[in-house]
């Protein structure tokens, strides 16, 4: 029964590890609803004051509008680019495929500061004014690789003969894509949209350097961290952001799985 | 039977390269209207490639494809009068059975109710009446196969192309579908081109069969001719079981009748129609015969019209309806010390006893069933 | 679809063109500009560049003890983070792959990836709040009477390492998990069958086969952490800057873009060289796979 013991020990470790992963996040709601102004135990009582303050803050509202604008545009653009790339890489052989795909996926590992700085240098050099538009440029670059990763799994699980069958039955190429491929990868597309949206919503470095004077939610948070009085509101805001991210991801996962179930496929994959 | 019909598919001088790989070599082929035609060959010989060339999914390096007399080089797959049943069936998993079957009618100008009637008719034809509302991804293999057939046939193509349509089914289902496919083909009268690597399937189903090796057509014939008189030794080996005995050519007359001395069988004279080619790599001429063309004579049998040879039973394999015997023919060891035994098959009819290993026996055979490969 | 190799290449190239162009424009061009800038000097007192191609920026960096110290610290911290992350992650990945029931794996993976998708900034900030002088840990410990004086945790290398290790955990687990999943289970049984102990099987079969995942994990954690900006800023309190913070100061604070560019290029080179050496050393594990 050594095996059991082994599994048990590992299991305890894995649970501890999960606790470690979640420890900071669990604090968020605790202190977001805590009446005290400093983030320390013991808790002082329940309040929704911080959420009300948050809602009443005009800069924060502006940051929210900006963040949403950026996240929506970036996720749509990144997903579109991702569809092109995923389709190209799963369906066609073309010269230089490996290096090209590697290059497009590079932002996944490149330190963001390098991306932000180099882009900043070029934008300033070209005399382009910083705005949420420039942030979108950067976010699309950051989100595309993740969209590609999700979409590639979706596209590659498709049997090539499905498309050929549609073509054989008299559809045009575009018709075959629209009537067969697109519906079948739609869950992957939704999943890619949600993930890109989440990444963009939470992204700090690029927004920090490329937004000019426009606040986004993360840069707003960063700017408030110096003021101890603002911390509870930040906690409230953080709670909302994290909750939103989790909901979006759960939705993304749901769509991915539903898509799999629909075409009778199984397996994990997804973000992995 | 179909000799007089007009040609439906004509391939002339067809070549196909994948980079350096020469996948189809000088294919010349005519398939006639209403024919059930099979492409048969081992894995990788280019059957699928040829089918996809006909369907329009692959470009060719040289040569021409004509369908119903029209050149096809500028006609894409979606405009060709062919439809395909894919090996994986390619059933659209997000649609219902009826939507799958109706897929090709989308660009048709007929009214909704007319289309529905066509779909219903097509489903009935393949034995799936009432399945229209089912989700396609929840069907069994055999049902998918039928949906794929209905989906292709509803468009009334001139040619139906089938790429190993039965290989994913279990044995029982496969045999049942073979019969259904033949019936269906007779019913609709459409030219069927079937790709298969299963020689039995090809023999059962086809009017004519093209046997392919390494991108070439090695023989194009009806099932009986293919079986009885394979054009070369590789075809003989690929189709059914054939025994080979080393032979020496001792003479040839003006009409082409060849006298050979066959190891274990003695001297025979074979007319030209019983003479085929060897395959490169073979060193000496051989004479081949099928297992069922040699008969084990029971001890009591006295004479036959055919020739007889003494033999020893080496091995007995009992199959219920049949028994296979591996025999060592008397005198077959001549020349090369340990000649391989030959295999013959006997139907286990009432009153015929299965013989034991080691029994001395006699076999009867006829020169008419021999094929000389030289 | 009527696909000769040529037309297939053309279709593929047409499809890949938009994302590729985008990456060329928004990633490659800026990186090249950075490289270009690094070979020029700033006119004293101006924001434009002096004439002439020069290696002066790189020479300056090579002899600058502060830059060297910061670079070394960045690499050192990243190394520690990588080591901690991968060591802590391996057992979890192993547990996921070998112990968890197949139908539960997706759930575990989802649980592990969720924190990764929540705002990195907020997670770092939370660690700050936790480790602060009057923060969660200290208030708890003093409240319970375990300590009298608050313990200083922030502004230490240890705090930075811990925060980063937490942030990059899923990055390490996922590639190792994928590599472990690919291992043919019958190989392990074969090992056991040949009389090897569990530990020996692990050493001689599992670990070598998991190495591609471990190597990927190391690179995926190491490369971005070297360039991390937020953690040194918040947890290090600006006292323990890493190379990203230094670059930012050069670029924006001191407005010396050429020197900042040279720093960026040097940092990327250093990381690339280290990653390259690491890959070379482990090449044999990657070859086994094919
Ligand atoms: N797209 C391609 N690129 C390169 N080579 C190919 C391609 N398609 C097929 N081939 C090669 O051409 C040869 C013939 O392939 P084909 O699919 O026609 O074989 P097949 O006779 O259908 O075999 P099977 O019975 O296994 O299906 C094979 O050796 C195959 O490797
Ligand atoms: Mg094939």
For B94, the closest of A161, A168, A184 (CB atoms) is A184
B1-49 pLDDT tens trace: 556 788 999 999 999 998 899 999 999 999 999 999 999 999 999 999 9
Is the model's pLDDT at B257 over the cut of 60? yes
Backbone torsions φ then ψ of B73, nearest 5 degrees: -60, -30
Average pLDDT over chain A reads 88
- Judging by beta carbons within 10 Å of its beta carbon (0-12, 13-18, 19+), is residue A3 exposed, middle or buried? exposed
Q: How far is A262 from chain B (nearest CA, A)?
A: 7
| CA B143/CA B249 separation, integer angstroms | 55
Asked whether the beta carbons of residue B88 and residue A262 sit closer than 8 angstroms, the reply is no
Average pLDDT over residues B187-206: 92
DSSP reduced 3-state for B147:
helix
Find the domain containing A101 and state its range. Answer: 59-262
Backbone torsions φ then ψ of B280, nearest 5 degrees: -55, 140
What separation in Å is there between the alpha carbon of B148 and the centre of ligand 2?
Answer: 17
Band of the pLDDT at C45, cuts 50, 70, 90? low
Average pLDDT over chain C reads 87
| CA B216/CA B223 separation, integer angstroms | 19
Band of the pLDDT at A263, cuts 50, 70, 90? low
- Provide the chain B residues 32-91 that lie in CB contact (below 8 A) with chain C: 56-59, 76-77
User: Pick from A230, A96, A81, A118: which is nearest to C29 by CA?
Assistant: A118
Band of the pLDDT at B73, cuts 50, 70, 90? confident
Share of chain C above pLDDT 90, in %: 43
Helix (H) / strand (E) element for B65: namely: strand B62-67
Is the model's pLDDT at B334 over the cut of 70? no
Q: How far is C183 from chain B (nearest CA, A)?
A: 28
Band of the pLDDT at C2, cuts 50, 70, 90? very low
pLDDT at residue C103, rounded to an integer = 85
Band of the pLDDT at C195, cuts 50, 70, 90? confident
Asked whether the beta carbons of residue C118 and residue A242 sit closer than 8 angstroms, the reply is yes
Backbone torsions φ then ψ of A34, nearest 5 degrees: -90, 135
Quick check: is A230 in a domain? yes
Is A170 in the B-facing interface, judged by CB distances under 8 Å?
Answer: yes
The complex's ipTM works out to 0.89
| CA C279/CA C270 separation, integer angstroms | 14
Q: How far is B56 from chain C (nearest CA, A)?
A: 6
Asked whether the beta carbons of residue B107 and residue A171 sit closer than 8 angstroms, the reply is yes
Cβ atoms of C122 and A231 closer than 8 Å? no
Is A85 in the C-facing interface, judged by CB distances under 8 Å?
Answer: yes
Cβ atoms of C254 and C182 closer than 8 Å? no
Cβ atoms of B143 and B128 closer than 8 Å? yes
Q: Taking CB atoms and an 8 Å cutoff, what residues of chain B touch A175?
A: 106
Q: Taking CB atoms and an 8 Å cutoff, what residues of chain C touch A6?
A: 198
Average pLDDT over residues A23-47: 86
Closest ligand 1 atom to Cα of B212 = 21
A133-162 pLDDT tens trace: 999 999 999 999 999 998 998 898 888 899
Is the model's pLDDT at C15 over the cut of 90? yes
B181, β-bridge pairs: none
Q: Estimate to the nearest angstrom the gap between the alpha carbon of B86 and the chain centroid.
A: 19
pLDDT at residue C3, rounded to an integer = 44
pLDDT at residue C9, rounded to an integer = 86
pLDDT at residue A208, rounded to an integer = 94
**Chain B / chain C CB contacts < 8 angstroms:** 17
Quick check: is A32 in a domain? no
Q: Taking CB atoms and an 8 Å cutoff, what residues of chain C touch A222?
A: 121
The two beta strands, B258-262 and B243-252, are antiparallel
B78-136 pLDDT tens trace: 999 999 999 889 999 889 999 999 999 988 888 999 999 999 999 998 889 999 999 88
| CA A197/CA A119 separation, integer angstroms | 21
The ligand placed nearest to the CA atom of residue B23 is 1
Instruction: Give every strand in the sheet of B21-32, ordered side by side.
Output: B21-32, B7-18, B62-67, B70-71
pLDDT at residue A267, rounded to an integer = 41
pLDDT at residue A62, rounded to an integer = 94
Q: Comparing A45-54, B211-220, B328-337, which segment has the lowest mean pLDDT?
A: B328-337
Hey, whose CA ends up nearest to atom 20 of ligand 1?
A: B44
Average pLDDT over residues C79-85: 95
Asked whether the beta carbons of residue C2 and residue B76 sit closer than 8 angstroms, the reply is yes
Q: How far is A165 from chain B (nearest CA, A)?
A: 6
The ligand placed nearest to the CA atom of residue B198 is 1
**Chain A / chain C CB contacts < 8 angstroms:** 252
Average pLDDT over residues A194-205: 91
What separation in Å is there between the alpha carbon of B342 and the centre of ligand 2?
Answer: 33
Quick check: is A63 in a domain? yes
What separation in Å is there between the alpha carbon of B159 and the centre of ligand 2?
Answer: 18
Q: How far is A114 from chain C (nearest CA, A)?
A: 7
Best interface-test mutation with A: which of C16, C164, C237 has the largest number of A CBs within 10 A?
C16
Hey, whose CA ends up nearest to atom 14 of ligand 1?
A: B46
Residue A257 to residues A191, C195, C199, Cα–Cα distance (Å): 10, 41, 37
Asked whether the beta carbons of residue C136 and residue A13 sit closer than 8 angstroms, the reply is no
Is the model's pLDDT at A109 over the cut of 90? no
Best interface-test mutation with B: which of C2, C8, C10 has the largest number of B CBs within 10 A?
C2
DSSP secondary structure letters along A196-234:
HHHHHHH--HHHHHHSTT---HHHHHHHHTT-GGGHHHH
Is A180 in the B-facing interface, judged by CB distances under 8 Å?
Answer: yes
For A92, the closest of C12, C92, C121 (CB atoms) is C12
pLDDT at residue B30, rounded to an integer = 94
For A183, the closest of B79, B94, B107 (CB atoms) is B94
Neighbours of ion ligand 2 (CB under 5 A): B 48
Share of chain B above pLDDT 70, in %: 95
What separation in Å is there between the alpha carbon of B363 and the centre of ligand 1?
Answer: 44
Single pTM value for the model: 0.83
Is the model's pLDDT at C43 over the cut of 80? no
Q: Taking CB atoms and an 8 Å cutoff, what residues of chain A touch B94?
A: 180, 183-184, 262-263
Domain boundaries, given as residue ranges, for chain C: 70-111+118-286
Continuous H helices in chain B: 47-55, 97-102, 112-125, 141-153, 171-188, 199-205, 223-228, 233-238
pLDDT at residue C257, rounded to an integer = 87
Asked whether the beta carbons of residue A169 and residue B155 sit closer than 8 angstroms, the reply is yes
Q: Taking CB atoms and an 8 Å cutoff, what residues of chain C touch B58?
A: 2-4
CATH code: domain of residue A161: 1.10.3720.10
Quick check: is A19 in a domain? no
pLDDT at residue C117, rounded to an integer = 77
Question: Which chain C residue is nearest to residue B58, measuring alpha carbons?
Answer: C2
| CA B308/CA B360 separation, integer angstroms | 13
Question: Which chain B residue is nearest to residue A186, measuring alpha carbons?
Answer: B94
Q: Taking CB atoms and an 8 Å cutoff, what residues of chain B touch C1?
A: 57, 76-77
Is the model's pLDDT at C17 over the cut of 80? yes
- Kindly report the length of chain C: 290
Q: Taking CB atoms and an 8 Å cutoff, what residues of chain B touch C7?
A: 59
A71-97 pLDDT tens trace: 999 999 999 999 999 999 998 889 999
For A164, the closest of B82, B90, B137 (CB atoms) is B90
Question: Which chain A residue is nearest to residue C169, measuring alpha carbons?
Answer: A21
Band of the pLDDT at A58, cuts 50, 70, 90? very high
Closest ligand 1 atom to Cα of B19 = 4
Question: Which chain A residue is nearest to residue C251, measuring alpha carbons?
Answer: A117
The dihedral region occupied by B215, where left means phi > 0, alpha psi between -120 and 50, and beta the remainder, is left
Is A204 in the C-facing interface, judged by CB distances under 8 Å?
Answer: yes
Quick check: is A39 in a domain? no
Hey, whose CA ends up nearest to atom 2 of ligand 1?
A: B18
Which protein residues touch ligand 1 with a CB less than 6 Å away? B 18, 21, 23, 41, 43-49, 197
Is the model's pLDDT at C1 over the cut of 60? no
Continuous H helices in chain C: 5-23, 29-37, 56-63, 65-94, 102-117, 120-131, 136-143, 157-167, 169-182, 185-193, 198-201, 207-226, 230-234, 243-248, 257-281, 283-288
Is A240 in the C-facing interface, judged by CB distances under 8 Å?
Answer: no
Asked whether the beta carbons of residue A117 and residue C174 sit closer than 8 angstroms, the reply is no
Residue B82 to residues B79, B89, B124, Cα–Cα distance (Å): 8, 16, 22
Is the model's pLDDT at A3 over the cut of 50? no
pLDDT at residue A250, rounded to an integer = 85
Average pLDDT over residues B303-315: 80
Domain count, chain A: 1
Quick check: is A237 in a domain? yes
Q: Which CATH number fits domain C70-111+118-286: 3.40.50.150, 1.10.3720.10, 3.30.450.80, 1.10.10.10?
A: 1.10.3720.10
Is B155 in the A-facing interface, judged by CB distances under 8 Å?
Answer: yes
């Amino acid at each position: 029964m050594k095996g059991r013991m082994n599994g048990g020990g590992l299991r305890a470790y894995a649970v501890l590890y999960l606790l470690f992963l979640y420890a900071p996040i669990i604090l968020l709601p605790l202190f977001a609803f805590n009446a005290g102004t400093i983030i320390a135990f013991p808790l002082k009582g329940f309040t929704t004051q911080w959420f009300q303050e948050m809602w009443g803050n005009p800069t924060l509202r502006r940051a929210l509008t900006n963040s949403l604008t950026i996240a929506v545009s970036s996720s749509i653009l990144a997903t579109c680019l991702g569809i092109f790339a995923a389709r190209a890489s799963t369906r066609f052989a073309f010269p230089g495929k490996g290096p090209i795909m590697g290059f497009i996926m590079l932002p996944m590992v490149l330190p963001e500061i390098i991306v932000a700085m180099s882009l900043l240098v070029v934008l300033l050099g070209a005399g382009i004014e910083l705005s949420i538009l420039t942030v979108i440029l950067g976010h699309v670059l950051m989100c595309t690789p993740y969209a590609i990763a999700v979409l590639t799994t979706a596209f590659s699980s498709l049997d090539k003969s499905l498309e050929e069958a549609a073509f054989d039955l008299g559809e045009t190429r575009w018709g075959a894509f629209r009537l067969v491929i697109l519906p079948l990868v739609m869950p992957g597309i939704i999943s890619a949209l949600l993930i890109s949206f989440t990444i963009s919503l939470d992204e700090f470095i690029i927004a920090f350097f490329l937004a000019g004077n426009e606040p986004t939610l993360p840069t707003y948070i960063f700017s408030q961290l110096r003021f101890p009085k603002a911390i509870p509101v930040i906690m409230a805001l953080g709670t909302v952001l994290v909750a939103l991210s989790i909901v979006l991801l759960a939705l993304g996962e749901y769509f991915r799985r539903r898509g799999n179930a629909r075409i009778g496929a199984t397996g994990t994959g997804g973000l992995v | 039977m179909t000799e007089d019909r007009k040609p439906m598919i004509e391939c002339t001088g067809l070549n196909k390269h994948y980079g350096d790989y020469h996948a189809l070599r000088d294919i010349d082929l005519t398939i006639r209207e209403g024919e059930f035609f099979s492409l048969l060959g081992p894995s990788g010989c280019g059957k699928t490639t040829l089918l996809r060339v006909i369907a329009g999914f692959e470009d060719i390096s040289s040569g021409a494809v004509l369908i119903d007399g029209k050149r096809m080089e500028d006609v894409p797959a979606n405009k060709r009068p062919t439809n395909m049943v894919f090996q994986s069936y390619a059933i659209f998993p997000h649609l219902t059975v009826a939507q799958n079957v109706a897929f090709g009618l989308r660009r048709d100008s007929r009214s909704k109710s007319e289309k529905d009637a066509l779909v219903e008719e097509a489903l009935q034809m393949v034995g799936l009446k009432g399945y229209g509302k089912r989700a396609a991804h929840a069907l069994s293999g055999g049902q998918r196969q039928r949906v794929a057939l209905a989906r292709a046939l509803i468009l009334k193509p001139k040619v139906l192309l089938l790429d190993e349509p039965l290989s994913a089914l279990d044995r029982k289902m496969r045999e049942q579908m073979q019969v259904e496919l033949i019936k269906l083909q007779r019913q609709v009268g459409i030219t069927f081109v079937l790709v298969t690597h299963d020689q039995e399937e090809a023999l059962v189903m086809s009017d004519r069969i093209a046997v392919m090796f390494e991108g070439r057509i090695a023989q194009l014939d009806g099932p009986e001719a293919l079986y009885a008189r394979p054009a070369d030794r590789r075809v003989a080996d690929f189709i059914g079981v054939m025994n080979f005995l080393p032979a020496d050519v001792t003479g040839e007359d003006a009409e082409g009748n060849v006298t050979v001395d066959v190891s274990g069988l003695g001297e025979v004279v074979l007319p030209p129609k019983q003479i085929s080619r060897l395959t490169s790599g073979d060193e000496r001429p051989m004479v081949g015969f099928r297992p069922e063309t040699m008969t084990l004579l029971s001890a009591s049998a006295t004479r036959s019209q055919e020739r007889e040879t003494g033999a020893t039973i080496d091995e007995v394999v009992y199959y219920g309806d049949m028994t296979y015997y591996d025999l060592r023919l008397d005198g077959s060891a001549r020349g090369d010390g340990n000649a391989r035994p030959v295999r013959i098959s006997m139907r286990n009819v009432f009153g015929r006893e299965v013989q034991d290993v080691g029994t001395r026996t006699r076999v009867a055979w006829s020169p008419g069933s021999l094929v000389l490969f030289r | 679809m009527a696909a000769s190799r040529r037309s297939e290449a053309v279709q593929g190239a047409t499809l890949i063109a938009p994302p590729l162009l985008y990456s060329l424009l928004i990633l490659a061009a800026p990186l090249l500009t950075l490289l270009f800038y690094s070979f020029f000097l700033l006119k004293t007192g101006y924001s434009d560049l002096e004439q002439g191609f020069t290696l002066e920026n790189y020479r300056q960096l090579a002899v600058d003890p502060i830059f060297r110290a910061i670079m070394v610290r960045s690499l050192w911290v990243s190394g520690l983070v990588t080591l901690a992350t991968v060591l802590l992650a391996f057992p979890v990945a192993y547990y996921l792959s070998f112990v968890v029931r197949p139908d539960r794996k997706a759930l575990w993976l989802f649980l592990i990836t969720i924190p990764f998708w929540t705002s990195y900034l907020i997670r770092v900030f939370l660690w700050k709040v936790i480790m602060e002088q009057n923060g969660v840990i200290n208030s708890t410990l003093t409240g319970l009477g375990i300590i009298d004086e608050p313990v200083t945790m922030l502004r230490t290398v240890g705090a930075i390492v811990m925060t980063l290790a937490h942030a990059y955990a899923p990055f390490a687990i996922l590639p190792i998990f994928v590599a472990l999943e690919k291992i043919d289970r019958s190989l392990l049984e074969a090992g056991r069958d040949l009389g090897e102990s569990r530990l020996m099987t692990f050493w001689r079969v599992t670990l070598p086969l998991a190495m591609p995942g471990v190597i990927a994990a190391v690179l995926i954690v190491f490369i971005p952490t070297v360039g991390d900006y937020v953690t040194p800023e918040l947890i290090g309190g600006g006292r323990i800057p890493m190379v990203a913070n230094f670059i930012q100061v050069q670029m924006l604070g001191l407005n010396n873009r050429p020197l900042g560019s040279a720093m960026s290029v040097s940092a990327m080179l250093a990381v690339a060289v280290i990653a390259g050496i690491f890959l070379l050393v482990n090449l044999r594990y990657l070859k086994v796979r094919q």
